[in-house]
Structure 1
Amino acid sequence: MTLDEILASLFPAGHDVVRERGLIAGQGRLPDGGAIAVIGVEGQTPVGVEEAAQLAGNVIEVIKSGGNEPILVLIDSGSQRMSKRDELLGINEFLAHLAKCLILADKLGHRTVGLLYGHTAAGAFIATALATRTLLALPGAEPAVMDLPSMSRVTKLSIDVLEEKAKSTPVFAPGLDNLFQTGAVAVTLDPASSLADQLQAQLSRPAERDDNRDQLGAERNGRPKAADIARRVYELARASV
């Protein structure tokens, strides 16, 4: 689906979403009559310091407006911008700021939902889609925390070894199916049905009190140990208080 088609299916009652220099911002009307803030990235735009600051500013404006308006984050991005300039300006801090703004908004009652509809990778993926409360995806989305060539350089393992590990261990592999199995992606939407109704259904569900992605990963056998280890660490920390 194109972004225009996605927006039309998400907001048949209308929206004022605008797209400028690879960024998305605006507001849409939900089936129940409520409004939802929309931000995001299109056209596989890399997220540099300016883009991260703009997106964070959009989230802060929603927070400042009060109320409990949810936030939808649409993502078809590159990775973080790979430039010496952005590195010297502290791209890591800008991305961290964006992620913290989304997490703060959620804590203050603005339900955050990510929707992967194209490509995304690395720091841009972590600071946008993975920083939302609930991450949805459309078939054909191409998420990757780290591609295999980059992973090979970091781990010093060959591509062949990583490809073999990826067959049985989703955390070693990019792609929508693997991110779903690890619990990072909660639901893959059906593009043949109303995206508005599917989004409304997600927003109508009671919000999880805690991040449950490790539980989803265990249930889907994508991260069989994470939830148990997190629980044991929590229990040990509580026992030491």
Structure 2
Amino acid sequence: MEWQALAVQLFPQGHDIVERDHFLSGSGTVGERTVTVIGTTGHTPIGVEIAMAQAAAILQTMRDHPGRPLVILIDTQGQRLRHRDEMLGINHYMAHLGKCIDVARRRGHPVIGLVYDQALSGGFITSGLMADACYALPDAEIRVMGLPAMARITKVPEERLVELAKSNPVFAPGAINYLNMGGVEAIWEGDLAACLMQALQQDDKADRRSARGLARGGRKLALPVAQAVMAAGDVQAA
């Protein structure tokens, strides 16, 4: 879905979102609330410029509009893989963006992520996965790594990975698999404005992704392992 059509559906009461070099910024009206909107389009990779632009928009919202919700619209092919960005320290820029989102949440800004097209690797980790809750449209493409690339890295034949992906969502791309793993809260269909309003009304700041992944059968060991580690730490502390 094009971001312009998405914005109309999310904010039928109006918005002033603009695009500059694949970076989206502005605000929209949801019921009686105004939200800050940031994001990307055109499958753009997240380089130092966009990472800083998103961080700056979040900092400005914290300064000028305390408590205002943040909505992150996600369409990215991931972290930009260029020598220039690596030499400038792209990892620090991405970390800065993630920290800004975390500070905003701690200061009372609800943070909602929405994958409306494509979400890959580092560009998704420091946006949708940093939100209070991340949602996706049905046709959204979410993955850490494509199966051909995964085969090259792991030396596991691609045919074997394709078979594993049929029963294990960890290996498979797609919004439904991330829903099963708990990384995506829900898939939005129908009235997107109503979906966004409902998401903003939720006030649960706890990270329940591991519990959701266990309940949905997509990540069966993440929560038990975390609980075992915590229990072992409590024993050592005692």
TM-score normalized by the length of structure 1: 0.94
- How far apart in 1 are the matches of 2:105 and 2:87? 30
1:155 is displaced (CA, Å) by 1.9
AA matched with 2:133: T
Mapping for residues 93-104 of structure 1, pairs under 5 Å: 93-104=92-103
Q: State the aligned residue count.
A: 237
1:235 is displaced (CA, Å) by 2.2
Residue aligning to 2:226 = 230
Q: Encode CA deviations 1:6-55: one digit per residue, 9 max, x unaligned.
A: 11111111111111100000111111x11111000011111111111111
AA matched with 1:2: E
Q: 1:218 aligns with which of 214, 230, 234?
A: 214
1:4 aligns with 2:1: no
- How far apart in 2 are the matches of 1:160 and 1:96? 35
Residue aligning to 1:37 = 36
1:125 is displaced (CA, Å) by 1.3
Residue aligning to 1:64 = 63
1:79 is displaced (CA, Å) by 1.7
Equivalent pairs: percent with the same residue? Answer: 38
Structure 2 unaligned runs (5+)? none
SS of residue in 2 equivalent to 1:79:
coil
The question of whether the paired residues in 2 share the 8 Å contact of 1:126 and 1:145 is answered with: no
- How far apart in 2 are the matches of 1:60 and 1:238? 37
1:17 aligns with 2:17: yes
1:151 is displaced (CA, Å) by 1.8
AA matched with 2:145: M
Residue aligning to 2:76 = 77
Provide the alpha-carbon RMSD of the alignment: 1.4
Q: 1:199 aligns with which of 196, 200, 203?
A: 196
1:166 aligns with 2:165: yes
TM-score normalized by the length of structure 2: 0.95
The question of whether the paired residues in 2 share the 8 Å contact of 1:95 and 1:127 is answered with: yes
1:143 is displaced (CA, Å) by 1.1
The question of whether the paired residues in 1 share the 8 Å contact of 2:137 and 2:175 is answered with: no
1:66 is displaced (CA, Å) by 5.0
Residue aligning to 1:120 = 119
